[in-house]
Amino acid sequence: MSILMNNSTRVIVQGITGRIGSTQTHWMLEYGTKVVGGVTPGKGGSTVEGLPVFDSVEEAVRETGANASVFFVPAAFVLDAFLETIDAGIKLIVIVPEHIPVNDVIRMRNYAIEKGVFALGPTTPGILVPGKGKMGIMPASLFAPGRVGIISRSGTLSYEFAGILSESRVGQSTVVGMGADPVVLRNLADILELFQEDEGTDGVIVVGEVGGEQEEKAAGFIARRMTKPVAAYITGRYSPQGKRMGHAGAIVRGSSGTVEGKHKALREAGVEVLESPIYVAQWAKKHNLK
Amino acid sequence: MRLHEYEALDIFEQNGIPVPRRGVAGSMHEALHVAGEIGYPVMLKAQVLVGGRGLAGGIKTASTPDELKEMAEELIGSEIKGLPVRKILVCEKVEVAKELYLGITVDGYSGKPVIVASTEGGMLIEETARTSPEKIAAIHIDPSFGYYPYLSRGLLKMLGLKQQLITAWTDVISQLYKVALRYEALISEINPLVVLPNGGLIAVDAVLEVDDSALSRIRFPLPDRVDRIENPIERRGREIGVSYVDLDGDIGLISSGAGLGMASMDIIGEKMKPANFLETGGGITADLLYRCMELIMMKPGLRGIFINVYGGINPIHEGAKGVVRYIKEHNVKIPIVAKALGNRQEETWEIFSSAGVHVVTEVATERAIDKLYEIVGGN
């Protein structure tokens, strides 16, 4: 079992004709993902990796029965393509690109939530279900099937955690990148809820970082709703916090999203805080996770 | 990108927000000239891109030309929180009946713009937010509908401000929201927003931070972005398109993601000291990593280098070629440890090894940093 992706997930790749889009389509197919087509406006009728390319998402959905989409679209065109994808009836969207203007992400997020679409990113490595399939850019060799869920704000650190677990013969049920931008399309607590309900997941690792208040808010959800063991690692303890100006962010949050503040909130919710990624293997062993 | 106060005040003024009479000065003589035109007393404000400037002594009031000379000479060329003061703003000193706070930012958690206001403007606003949250009011803006003035009227009520302010207050917030939209601002802030004895409002300070991801589509003129980075290595990093932050250690770092880079710094920091943070983002090529090597080597005295990259979206075998080319061309003798995992990892390891780079094939970053520590030791 897994969250977000399963055997009936049929994926289209938006921006499939680009250099990154076509390379990643190759890797996704090789991993066993049901990729059924792609979209690049103006390139309809061509093929990539043997898959049909369409001019619009609506055509792609009609012709292939796609129900999920992964984006390799240039940042400036993502908002437009995202709205098109939702209107075409796709229910799961992964936004890999970075550097999308915050004002665009705000519009995307609100439209997705209004339409009941589950979207991840921007700046996310995507979703990977070990041994089954992936939407995004996660390098397959680091993952192994099992019963631990991972949610990460950082792409590369999600690989690191999965890799350390796999090396210690602990597998993963699903690995989810939630995106690294100040505004993301889905909050941490929403993804935790899916793992709590998933029969294939026995424990969850949250990989967070300094800044924002995702982890603090998720701590409330964990305390109220999570019965499965949760471990968390928060990076950025020694990071220079930039030369912050303005107070508005800190005033809204009532804190400045420090590593210490996040640790405290998570510990109070019963989460085991890991001081370094390497301790994740011991945590999994302690809870007998496989 | 953060704008200087004098740049932001110009933008606020162009958009109809009342601001004091003022001028920028790069020397004592210029300051004297500006003050002569405005009339004494004047405020002198160091133009540095850092918060907490007032508490650090960067804001002074001069009542006479003699005082101004002394203060301007003291400020210009000094350092505030490590940043050089090249310019000061010479500014009319307005009469203050009350100091308010007003800011517009993006609330990351709800994914909505939010207007924040307080009756307690000034340097201690964050303190107030913690100790007296009832003195802070915030209203979120529904992104589907945008801003309407009734939101400002609601804020006025929430804060218990006098009804006489209603027109001036609503105007300032409407204009500030216009600035936030036009400049794709992550933060636009006025602190303090001064209530004058006659009941008018005036923005005595201005903070504006523009969304870097939106720079190419902003239709209004903006100052140069690279120009304002004081540190030469950080400036060069911006030019080649990577995030570089200069630190005071001696272990160079190249990483392929912000989270991985921060975690590497955290682990290096336990036994050694990182010389920098460097994150390549998802655009690694042989050329880019060659330039990253060049970049971190700009800092003298490195004892070791740690390269931590994953091949997800990045072709790490290409990156390795760039590193190796740099090592060979510059005959680099500093020990280098690399951890490179993911697509085409074996090929990447071979390329690194060919130039004497120590390759660690375990996943945990800890192991690779242990290896580096074994070679270079602590300090």
* A90 neighbors A69 (Cβ within 8 angstroms): yes
Query: Using the beta-carbon criterion (under 8 Å), do B260 and A166 form an inter-chain contact?
Result: no
d(CA A54, CA A19): 17
Domain B98-217 bears CATH identifier 3.30.420.40: no
Give me the active site residues of A, please. 247
The pLDDT value given to residue B60: 96
Q: Which of B354, B355, B360 is nearest to B373 (CA)?
A: B360
Q: Is the pLDDT of residue A170 over 80?
A: yes
Q: Which of B305, B234, B255, B238 is nearest to B275 (CA)?
A: B305
Residues in chain A within 8 Å Cβ distance of B207:
245-246
Question: Which of A156, A163, A243 is closest, CB to CB, to B49?
Answer: A243
Residues in chain A within 8 Å Cβ distance of B211:
101-103
Give the amino acid at A242. Answer: G
Residue A237: which pLDDT band, with cuts at 50, 70 and 90?
confident
The pLDDT value given to residue B370: 96
Q: What is the largest CA-CA distance in chain A?
A: 56
Q: Is the pLDDT of residue A246 over 70?
A: no
Q: Is the pLDDT of residue A256 over 70?
A: no
Residues in chain B within 8 Å Cβ distance of A182:
106, 108, 186
**Whether A24 contacts chain B with CB within 8 A:** yes
Alpha-carbon gap: A92 to the closest alpha carbon of chain B (Å)? 19
| Whole-number Cα distances in Å, A108 to A111, A244, B354 | 5, 27, 47
Query: Using the beta-carbon criterion (under 8 Å), do A248 and B266 form an inter-chain contact?
Result: no
**CA angle centred on A214, ends A197 and B173, rounded to 5°:** 130
Between A247 and A55, whose confidence is greater? A55
What are residue A262's phi and psi, to 5 degrees?
-70, -45
d(CA B102, CA B88): 23
Quote the pTM value: 0.94
Q: Which of A143, A31, A122, A141 is nearest to A70 (CA)?
A: A122
d(CA A65, CA A278): 42
The pLDDT value given to residue B133: 87
The pLDDT value given to residue A15: 98
Give the end-to-end CA distance of chain B in Å, rounded to a whole number: 36
The pLDDT value given to residue B17: 98
d(CA A198, CA A221): 16
**Whether B49 contacts chain A with CB within 8 A:** yes
Domain B21-92 bears CATH identifier 3.30.1490.20: yes
**Whether A152 contacts chain B with CB within 8 A:** yes
The pLDDT value given to residue A242: 53
What domains, with CATH codes, occur in chain A?
11-120 (3.40.50.720), 139-286 (3.40.50.261)
Q: Nearest residue on chain A to B308, judged by CA atoms?
A: A156
The pLDDT value given to residue A240: 64
Q: Nearest residue on chain A to B270, judged by CA atoms?
A: A238
Alpha-carbon gap: A125 to the closest alpha carbon of chain B (Å)? 8
Residue A252: which pLDDT band, with cuts at 50, 70 and 90?
low
Helix, strand, coil percentages in chain A from 3-state DSSP, rounded to 5: 40, 20, 40
Q: Mark the ranges of chain B whose per-residue pLDDT is less than 50.
A: none
The pLDDT value given to residue B130: 85
Task: Read off the pLDDT of residues A188-207 as tens digits, 9 standing for 90 and up.
Answer: 999 999 999 999 999 999 99
Domain B232-376 - what CATH class? alpha beta
**Whether B264 contacts chain A with CB within 8 A:** no
The pLDDT value given to residue A253: 60
- DSSP of B44-100, one letter per residue? EEE--S-S-TTTTT-EEEESSHHHHHHHHHHHTT-EETTEE---EEEEE----SEEE
Q: Tell me how far the alpha carbon of residue B73 is from its chain's centroid.
A: 27
Residue A250: which pLDDT band, with cuts at 50, 70 and 90?
low
Query: Using the beta-carbon criterion (under 8 Å), do A102 and B133 form an inter-chain contact?
Result: no
Q: Which of A52, A116, A42 is nearest to A81 (CA)?
A: A42
> Bridge-partner residues for A185, per DSSP?
none
Domain residue ranges of chain B, discontinuous segments joined by +: 21-92, 98-217, 232-376
**Whether A19 contacts chain B with CB within 8 A:** no
Query: Using the beta-carbon criterion (under 8 Å), do A139 and B247 form an inter-chain contact?
Result: no
Q: Is the pLDDT of residue A245 over 60?
A: no
